Structure 1
């Protein structure tokens, strides 16, 4: 996997920059430039614009590896790379507008349908404040959500794509976790968005968009939602692997303060490490199987079944839940100095906790949705 090899080469710099990433509240420009040079942002971009159209397992492996060095960089830049898949499903006119003159153009997003809109001739007028736009400082365009009408004429989530000149970035990102993602809010006021720059979530998930089949690559036969979600669990996996590594090294060298005992001989430490390691390995196998299944369905160049899509989402959320448990177990056994601000372990603990808080990764919701499906009940729009 050439891209993964490229990622491994720059990983020491990404790791060195991880504290600074958190301090400045955004991914450092150096990280973004290194990832551009490595070809990371080309991962899911159409080949027609110089992209790689990587299989999903390879793309996810790169994100997990990045997250071992800096979770914030992996999260934000993983999404910047991910949006190329979605844009490949929008109209060819929009694709040309974004990549025709600048194939390196990046796209951030705020997809929750919170925008205020009104239909006008040739498009819509969009206003509002759109939060959680990870990596927006490095993006040239943004995908923004509003509750419009789907391809069946029903009310439903829709997306509008707007250029950087149409919105203001608000300096409002101040969190306890994934601080370096720079997931700031974007503010628009009465911006005209032409029809060709809009699509519905329904259309993106059911092959009904203007740009569906505009590219022959297999990855563009997978709906928006499962692809959009890949990076969340991959980031959690990378964090957990890194924490287990640090715990192992710490335990080998640690002497308990009050007794002078060598922690390496402490049975609970050994057992915690074994259990968390097994949990992390099991989750990795689960996720890798899902990513392979996604590519298998894509290679058939037909949309996956609802059973597949709901199962993938639920298992991703379950994987993150299990990874949080694995890290929490090790964190409790890491001693007080693991909580010094200079200790990487406390940042990893904070970062993995928030990976389970995204609307797409909320296990309580994902399990309800999948459970209803298994019982033959219809979809409930409240559970998303």
Structure 2
């Protein structure tokens, strides 16, 4: 099978699961964790191995494929799409580690799921052959289904200095999960808090984030294109694939409702679909969704293209990807807002899945990495050649 055919097959497998995910969406939200039936179906379809190296039986697919799969799953359930996507980006992160660490995760379990909290937290101290970490890491999406966790941490030298930021790869059975994820949206992601108490992490399982931001990865397999992808652009772009899918799912629900022939209350329109106001709003929502998709796929193609050329993406292009991802979040929210206006107050009935889509979208779009004000400033500085930036995450 050619690479393009393999990538297309993965997206088709995701599309085939949309019906199942929709049926289980309410249960996923109520249980505050992805329905086990979803997890099993995703695993059977190989959708937890999109970014796992082929050396371990994974698909080692492109970032574009990961985002296309993510958007398909988002049509069915935002929480499931988010959990699957973040598990896959963590698989990509593991592919940046030395082979020894990769083997510990994937050699006996190709589909081993990994969760992460990249924000550096807790404390560390130098120990013979590694670091000992203690702390609490909130918002660990997918931790309820993971075997490993990636935890942001300060790396501490022998004299107590902290020369760099690291990312510790830790087995989940060495951590505790605190039930802290009580949110209005994305409730099924189970993004609880991970707790470590004097956990030893060997040096080969600590990735230097400081170096990764420059495209310096410790993997020995430098010929593998996927694991040459730019660090922050990958981490930012995966956050909005599910959001694009949510907007598409909302459009499908509203157009299906209109096709059934409902009227517009307090007007002479017996068929809302015949009103020019409905038609123009649906067109505008669809156009916003298309705009979001175009920005997301441009970002994906930029990431994949620079990796294929064996060059680390320049600052300006990395800043544009940050801007693109914020644009996807903003346009998806705007589209859904219009669709809610078309559908009316009934959108917020507890029995209407549109209100869950709206809550998931509004929650996911507030992720700090896609903050439109910050990304605009960041991109503007890059365009104007201002050296001092507002964030190291570019």
Quote the offset at 1:191 in angstroms.
Answer: 0.9
Q: Which residue of 1 aligns with 2:4?
A: none
Give yes or no for contact 2:71–2:81 (8 Å, CA) kept in 1: yes
Q: Give deviations 1:341-364, integer Å, cap 9, x for gaps.
A: 110111111111122211211111
Q: 1:20 aligns with which of 14, 22, 27?
A: 27
Give yes or no for contact 1:373–1:379 (8 Å, CA) kept in 2: no
Q: Which residue of 2 aligns with 1:278?
A: 287
Q: 1:113 aligns with which of 107, 114, 120?
A: 120
Give yes or no for contact 2:319–2:379 (8 Å, CA) kept in 1: yes
Q: Which residue of 2 aligns with 1:145?
A: 152
Question: What does 1:1-384 correspond to in 2, within 5 Å?
Answer: 1-148=8-155, 155-211=163-219, 213-214=220-221, 216-252=223-259, 253-259=261-267, 261-262=269-270, 263-380=272-389
Quote the offset at 1:113 in angstroms.
Answer: 0.9
Gaps of 5+ in 2: 1-7
For the aligned residues, what is the CA RMSD?
1.9
Corresponding residue SS for 2:17:
helix
Q: Give deviations 1:150-182, integer Å, cap 9, x for gaps.
A: 9xx975532111101110111111100111111
Q: TM-score, normalised to structure 1's length?
A: 0.94
Count of residues in correspondence between the two structures = 381
Distance 1:374 1:114 in 2: 32
Give yes or no for contact 2:237–2:321 (8 Å, CA) kept in 1: no
Q: Give deviations 1:234-282, integer Å, cap 9, x for gaps.
A: 1111111111122222233222344463222222222211111111112
After TM superposition, the structure 1 stretch with the greater mean CA deviation from structure 2, 8-17 or 18-27, is 8-17
After TM superposition, the structure 1 stretch with the greater mean CA deviation from structure 2, 73-82 or 347-356, is 347-356
Give yes or no for contact 2:138–2:194 (8 Å, CA) kept in 1: yes
Quote the offset at 1:135 in angstroms.
Answer: 0.7
Gaps of 5+ in 1: none
Give yes or no for contact 2:126–2:156 (8 Å, CA) kept in 1: no
Q: TM-score, normalised to structure 2's length?
A: 0.92
Corresponding residue SS for 1:114:
coil
